[in-house]
């Protein structure tokens, strides 16, 4: 009897915890939607800010965030996947390779502002990129690199040994096995990891803060060497740095909602990719 009560109590506690988490998320989403949705319109999504950012839309910020995130993925994906393939398939299991792995894991825990400072020192100044889409993309790419490497390694680990042996037994070399069988099998896992890393990168402010984001630009960036606006930073400005904070509050909420929508869409893509590739697999 006593054991049964304890069991019920444990279950009740865990259900409460779950409900609480869901409730918090629900309140955040509801608050954002109710205050932000009225300001979202086609014009809001397709126009530049006007009159000292008290009116108009957030197109440059949407464009900037999208461009920088895409660029960071373009840079980080080949590097990260290449690194993961080497570590998982080729590197011998010794102190050195374990040290590399530990460093990569630690890299994932470095605060994003540190990446921002590193980006200024290396990309903006040393490589002379200036504050630009390119410098910010590189910095953001570095930030997402550890998680891309880790998830890719995980995806490679999940490819059954039997599948690899099947290719080797037919006379494929190690590289042919990796290219034609292992990587295609790991694609869903790799893509999911990349998209999740990307969606985290899209919401970051600190790494782009000193490396290229602008308070306000009238035009969309014309090249990767231009400054840009970004959603998270725009949100920060509207909520704390603006001269008429109260007046632009609805715009801030709408910006936050747009950012969440963008991230949500990316996550949805990851989900879709996984479902699509897993179809027909076991």
Partner 1 sequence: MEKTKIEIRDLDLFFGKKQALKNISLHIPEGKITALIGPSGCGKSTLLRCLNRMHDLNPQVKMSGIIQLDELNLLHGNTNPVHLRRRVGMVFQKANPFPKSIAENVAYGLKINNLCHKTQMATRVEKSLRDSFLWEEVKDELAESALTLSGGQQQRLCIARAIAVEPEIILLDEPCSALDPISTGKIEELMLKLRGRFTQVIVTHNMQQAQRVADYTAFMYLGELVEFGETKQIFENPQQDLTRNYVEGHFG
Contact positions toward partner 1, by CB under 8 A?
A: 160, 162-163, 165-173, 176, 180-181, 184-185, 280-282
State the angle between helix axes of 59-85 and 183-202 in degrees (0 to 180), rounded to the nearest 10.
140
Q: Minimal distance in Å, beta carbon 169 to partner 1?
A: 4
Question: Measured from the CB of residue 187, what is the shortest distance to partner 1 in angstroms?
Answer: 9
Who's near 179: CB < 8 A, 6+ residues apart?
Answer: none
Q: Which is nearer to partner 1, 236 or 277 (CB)?
A: 277
* Cβ–Cβ under 8 Å, residues 199 and 26: no
Residue whose CB is less far from partner 1, 167 or 231: 167
Minimum Å gap between C-beta 281 and partner 1 is 6
Q: How far is the CB of 173 from partner 1 (least distance, A)?
A: 5
Nearest approach in angstroms of CB 154 to partner 1 is: 18
Beta bridge partners of 50: 55
| CB closer to partner 1, 4 vs 281 | 281
Helical spans, DSSP H, in the chain: 2-36, 42-46, 59-85, 95-108, 112-119, 133-157, 161-169, 174-177, 183-202, 206-209, 231-236, 245-278
CB closer to partner 1, 26 vs 160:
160
Residue 207: both structure tokens together: 């790494």
Nearer to partner 1, 88 or 234 (CB): 88
Nearest residue to 221 via CA among 210, 211, 229: 229
């Amino acid at each position: 009897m006593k054991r049964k009560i304890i069991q019920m109590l444990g279950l009740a506690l865990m259900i409460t915890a779950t409900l609480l988490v869901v409730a918090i998320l629900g309140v955040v989403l509801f608050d954002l939607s109710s205050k932000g949705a009225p300001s979202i319109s086609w014009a809001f999504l397709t126009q530049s800010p006007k009159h000292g950012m008290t009116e108009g839309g957030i197109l440059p910020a949407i464009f900037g965030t999208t461009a920088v995130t895409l660029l960071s993925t373009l840079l980080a994906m080949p590097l990260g996947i290449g690194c993961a393939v080497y570590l998982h398939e080729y590197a011998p299991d010794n102190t050195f390779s374990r040290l590399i792995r530990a460093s990569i894991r630690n890299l994932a825990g470095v605060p994003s502002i540190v990446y921002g400072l590193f980006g200024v020192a290396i990309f903006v100044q040393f490589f002379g990129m200036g504050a630009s889409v390119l410098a910010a993309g590189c910095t953001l790419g570095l930030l997402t690199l550890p998680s891309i490497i880790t998830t890719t390694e995980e995806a490679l680990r999940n490819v059954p040994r039997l599948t690899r042996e099947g290719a080797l037994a037919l006379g494929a070399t190690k590289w042919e096995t990796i290219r034609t069988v292992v990587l295609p099998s790991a694609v869903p896992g790799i893509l999911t990891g990349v998209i999740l890393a990307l969606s985290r990168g899209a919401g970051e402010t600190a790494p782009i803060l000193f490396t290229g984001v602008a308070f306000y630009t009238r035009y969309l960036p014309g090249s990767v060497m231009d400054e840009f606006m970004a959603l998270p930073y725009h949100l920060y400005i509207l909520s704390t740095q603006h001269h008429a904070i109260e007046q632009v509050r609805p715009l801030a909420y709408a910006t936050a909602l747009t950012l969440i929508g963008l991230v949500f869409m990316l996550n949805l893509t990851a989900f879709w990719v996984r479902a699509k590739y897993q179809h027909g697999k076991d």
